[in-house]
């Protein structure tokens, strides 16, 4: 069977939360509001992701334990139709891959829960005691255009013939010219730019299998 890849965003798509904002919440209301504001500006396309990435993490300095907690929170807030939708997609020959500007160490436990093997996100660096020591700026999804790079690389490496991207944000939408189909997701946040420009737009992941060739 020809290889078919479906790239799915994590935050506000596979789960209702924004992982980095939830980490910020652990630091109190003020830090939370500051981070949420930066995330929204980036996801609405008003500022570049790379301009907020390090800034948000420097405010939060998440520990390894805290990332693990967010991993459980992703599981607790999974999109209600995600598991059945992923099963239907696999049945139809699609391999789901998570592509996210979120943090690898928080997303991996969630991916395991979903049975998703490949996670393309941003790796954090921890000291031996688990305290925050920075992030790997070479991870493509910490920058604008990063999701395209990930998709292109996986498409080539895995020899994929068809690619689909699903997500709620502007960093997802910018992949539209590079995939066979882009599907906007508005189950949690309906972003007007994504809604108006996406070729397809859904409110539940379970609507997706029927849209694919
Ligand atoms: Mg998202």
Tell me: the pLDDT tens digits for 115-125?
Answer: 999 999 999 99
Residue 189 exposed, middle or buried by CB count within 10 Å (0-12, 13-18, 19+): middle
Name the domain count of the chain: 1
> What pLDDT, in 10s, does the model give residues 146-201?
999 999 999 999 999 999 999 999 899 999 999 999 999 999 999 999 999 999 99
What does the pLDDT average to over 195-212? 98
Q: In CATH, what number is assigned to the domain containing residue 128? A: 3.40.50.1000
Q: How far is the CA of 127 from the centre of ligand 1 (A)?
A: 28
What is residue 6's predicted lDDT score, i.e. its pLDDT?
98
H-run or E-run covering 164 = strand 160-167
Q: What is the pTM of this model?
A: 0.94
DSSP string, 36-90: HHHHHHHHTTSS-HHHHHHHHHHHH---HHHHHHHHHHHHHTB-TTHHHHHHHHH
pLDDT > 70: percent of the chain: 100
Q: How far is the CA of 129 from the centre of ligand 1 (A)?
A: 30
> What pLDDT, in 10s, does the model give residues 64-92?
999 999 999 999 999 999 999 999 999 99
Q: How far is the CA of 86 from the centre of ligand 1 (A)?
A: 17
Cβ pair 183, 198 in contact under 8 A: yes
pLDDT band at 52 (very low <50, low <70, confident <90, very high): confident
Q: How far is the CA of 173 from the centre of ligand 1 (A)?
A: 10
Q: How far is the CA of 43 from the centre of ligand 1 (A)?
A: 8
What is residue 1's predicted lDDT score, i.e. its pLDDT?
64
- Report how far apart, in Å, the C-alpha atoms of 64 and of each of 12, 58, 81, 134 are: 22, 15, 29, 12
Domain containing residue 137: 3-211
Neighbour count for residue 65 (Cβ, 10 Å): 10
- CA angle 15-166-182, nearest 5°? 165
> What pLDDT, in 10s, does the model give residues 189-200?
999 999 999 999
What is residue 100's predicted lDDT score, i.e. its pLDDT?
97
Q: How far is the CA of 168 from the centre of ligand 1 (A)?
A: 5
């Amino acid at each position: 069977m020809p290889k078919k890849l479906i790239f799915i965003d994590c935050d506000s798509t596979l789960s209702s939360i924004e992982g980095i904002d939830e980490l910020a919440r652990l630091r109190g209301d003020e830090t939370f509001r500051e981070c949420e504001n930066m995330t929204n500006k980036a996801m609405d396309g008003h500022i570049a992701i790379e301009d907020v990435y390090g800034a948000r993490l420097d405010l939060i300095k998440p520990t390894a334990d805290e990332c693990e907690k967010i991993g459980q929170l992703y599981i607790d807030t999974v999109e209600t139709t995600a598991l059945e939708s992923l099963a239907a997609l696999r049945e139809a020959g699609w391999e789901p891959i998570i592509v996210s500007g979120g943090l690898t160490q928080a997303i991996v436990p969630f991916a395991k829960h979903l049975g998703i093997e490949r996670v393309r996100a941003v790796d954090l660096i921890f000291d031996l005691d688990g305290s925050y020591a920075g992030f790997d700026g070479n991870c493509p999804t910490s920058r604008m255009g990063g999701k395209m790079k990930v998709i292109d690389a996986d498409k080539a490496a895995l020899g994929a013939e068809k690619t689909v991207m699903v997500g709620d944000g502007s960093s997802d939408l910018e992949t539209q010219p590079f995939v066979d189909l882009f599907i906007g997701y508005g189950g949690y946040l309906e972003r007007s730019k994504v809604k108006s420009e996406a070729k397809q737009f859904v409110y539940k992941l379970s609507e997706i299998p029927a849209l694919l060739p």
